[in-house]
Chain A
């Protein structure tokens, strides 16, 4: 009760003060009397409520009753600001922390600075001003708080505000012809757009993801929607259990994604080719992919796997059982690197979830065969690689075999893809190719290692022969010299 009376007192004082202030504002008095539209609109403006006079933006002396005196350029009258002067005029207060504090505002004072460095702060096609001014989005003379449902930047109105330009193909192509102009249509099909359309101000709108004053190109590493930054942007709502209360969806996606093969590639290895949230869910039309469409979504990158899966017997079986395609074996946000442990009939293998020896012996046999073959290829490739390394360390020339070993490795990678055909014959064909190459390389590697030892033995034998010949030669020299010495003695 005490707080309520204090609040009423404050509001009354502000209104009285505003009334007194504007009673002394000759600009407002005259323009309102004339039925001037801006003056009429200004009554609702937050700046009016804060006692900011017309002269604050338009210049001049608002205390002078005479029009000529009030609008005398000598008093700083500048009329209607145009071009970049508009934003600069706003910035005189909004970029000045002291002034804003005096006016009782808690708004940040970096908007103008952010706007300047944003994609909207670039020079417009006229070459005279920036593309966007404050008034482009916030309107003029009827500016209200962003929390006010009548504000053009209120969450439920912001989409339409942005759409004014972004859905205008002829306008947009003057700046970025490759930028789509159907974001709004897509947005309305998304979960976010649907909720927003139903009047939920918490549902994400343009500014929720792109930011407001600091909007940057999606290719800009500082952008909130840059691939590497996007998971954090999405998680600012989706990982907030309090915020997401009532939407009935989990809030651990970001935590799971960060640990996944995609998350590690994107967030730790900074590989922006790795998928972020929008690559699977869409961006403006964001929505979880349906059960049948998962292989299509994953297939945008994993094309071969998706193709093989679509023509495999699993496609029909999964559809009938309403099993989400890739997700059933690989998971969704927490996809870990696909290892061979997924394959086979052991307890940790995903095949064994559906294929048991009793109920589905055919699938069980194929799964076991695939695992055995992939294991054999891996073992043979490792053995061949070890032999080649050993031969190389021993100084043998094995570059050709080493090059050939890549084919075996390639075949092993292909076999991992070929698994998705779930076809014994196709899989066997790929693995057999790898096994043949790995066997060849292994034989060459072993021959090179054997050759190394052969060289050592050969050297030993050659040294022995040379030593015997050398000793014989030495004995021969001694014999000759002894004979020469004897014959010399006889001669003397």
Chain B
């Protein structure tokens, strides 16, 4: 067996010079310190994205993206297609875990200030991918064309429509008309399976190339060569095998979730039916939704909702461009403000999400 593998490896190596790549990876080191565990979340996010691509393609073989057939095709997938239930459930669960892993990855990079020079582009591509992940979630949520998805999309696009000036055109663009209809479904389907994956793949390529090129970010003052006990670990095979081990655990977790908590399909959407009580967005939008619910209708002369949306927009932009205004971290200095802002954001998101579920 070993002989056979060596034979195949030599055959490929002869043609594409794999040895160079192994040598490159063998020279790449991962710092070992008390926050090293957060490095794994980038890999977990990547793994979950790969699962999304694979299960998404499998679902695409049966899914029909039209108002009349979308719901029925999912029903067919989960009841008639062999292991269709598993693929659909894994796709739905992996989508949520993907957003969660990406969020943890983003916050860990933020608190480690790993975005600082020279990794600004890595941070920017990561942030763009995170926004795309939210877009994947929002567009994919409508695809089963069930009651909950229909009204959640209605509410979600309504919120987008509130933005002054550009809100109305955005709403019309997202819905492909005045209301959420079959045209919206087709549009969301197109975004979900073609536009977003295309952009995401390009961004992911840049992100991964940069990570490989620049190596893992080290914390402030980390220096393994000074004999102070600080260590590193070869990326290949040590870190990669650990990554693989974690991926296996995540895969098992997904299987458990899919079997014990199969993703429900609910009732088919009916545009003429009254909105069901307690419509809630996906958990990752909950803190924004809850904020807009709690904000007063009028603040001074402006609509509370408009102020809320503009504030979230500004906070998102500030967050995204943190490498460019956090000069201290780039210079290797400590910046406590960044930590306070990050802690505030985490606490705010957690509290508002909990409030969204209990209120």
- From 247 to 265 in chain B, residues with beta carbon under 8 angstroms from any chain A beta carbon are 248-249, 251-252, 255-256, 259, 262, 264-265
Given contacts A398-B79, A459-B255, A459-B259, contact A470 B248 (CB under 8 A): yes
Q: Is the interface of A mostly helix, strand, loop or mixed?
A: helix
- From 175 to 208 in chain B, residues with beta carbon under 8 angstroms from any chain A beta carbon are none
Contact flags A434-464 to B (C-beta < 8 A → 1, else 0): 0000000000000000000001101100110
Distance of B238 from chain A, by nearest CB (Å)? 6
Given contacts A398-B79, A400-B79, A463-B255, contact A480 B237 (CB under 8 A): yes
For residue A469, CB closer than 8 A to chain B, the reply is yes
Q: Is the interface of B mostly helix, strand, loop or mixed?
A: helix
Distance of B235 from chain A, by nearest CB (Å)? 13
Please give me the residue from chain A that is nearest to B233 by CB atom: A481
Please give me the residue from chain A that is nearest to B237 by CB atom: A480
The answer to whether A397 touches B85 (Cβ under 8 A) is: yes
Interface bracket on A: 20 to 34
Interface window among A27-35, A195-203, A271-279, A471-479: A471-479
Distance of A460 from chain B, by nearest CB (Å)? 9
For residue A23, CB closer than 8 A to chain B, the reply is no
The answer to whether B248 touches A473 (Cβ under 8 A) is: yes
Please give me the residue from chain A that is nearest to B261 by CB atom: A395
Contact among B86, B241, B256 for A477, CB-based, below 8 A: B241
Distance of B87 from chain A, by nearest CB (Å)? 13
Please give me the residue from chain B that is nearest to A460 by CB atom: B259
The answer to whether B244 touches A473 (Cβ under 8 A) is: yes
Distance of A250 from chain B, by nearest CB (Å)? 52
Distance of A488 from chain B, by nearest CB (Å)? 11
Contact among A456, A469, A484 for B259, CB-based, below 8 A: A456
For residue B217, CB closer than 8 A to chain A, the reply is no
Distance of B147 from chain A, by nearest CB (Å)? 14
Q: Which chain A residues lie closer than 8 Å to B244 at the CB level? A: 473
Distance of A360 from chain B, by nearest CB (Å)? 51
The answer to whether A473 touches B245 (Cβ under 8 A) is: yes
State the CA gap A15–B201 with chains docked (Å): 116
Given contacts A477-B245, A480-B238, contact A397 B75 (CB under 8 A): yes
For residue B242, CB closer than 8 A to chain A, the reply is yes
For residue B94, CB closer than 8 A to chain A, the reply is no
State the CA gap A477–B237 with chains docked (Å): 8
Q: Which chain B residues lie closer than 8 Å to A458 at the CB level? A: 259
The answer to whether B259 touches A466 (Cβ under 8 A) is: no
- Most A CB contacts (10 A, CB to CB) among B242, B259, B265 go to B259
Q: Which chain B residues lie closer than 8 Å to A474 at the CB level? A: 245
Contact among A399, A466, A469 for B75, CB-based, below 8 A: A399
Q: A455-B86, A473-B241, A477-B242 are in contact. List 17 more A-B contacts (CB 8 A).
A: A395-B264, A397-B75, A397-B85, A399-B79, A459-B256, A462-B252, A463-B255, A463-B256, A470-B245, A470-B249, A473-B244, A473-B245, A473-B248, A477-B241, A477-B245, A481-B238, A484-B238
Query: Could you list 19 A-B pairs, sorted by A, with CB under 8 Å?
Result: A397-B79, A397-B85, A398-B79, A399-B79, A400-B79, A455-B86, A455-B259, A458-B259, A459-B255, A459-B259, A466-B249, A467-B252, A469-B248, A473-B241, A473-B248, A477-B238, A477-B241, A477-B242, A477-B245
Question: Closest 6 A-B residue pairs measured CB to CB?
Answer: A397-B79, A459-B259, A466-B252, A397-B78, A470-B248, A473-B245
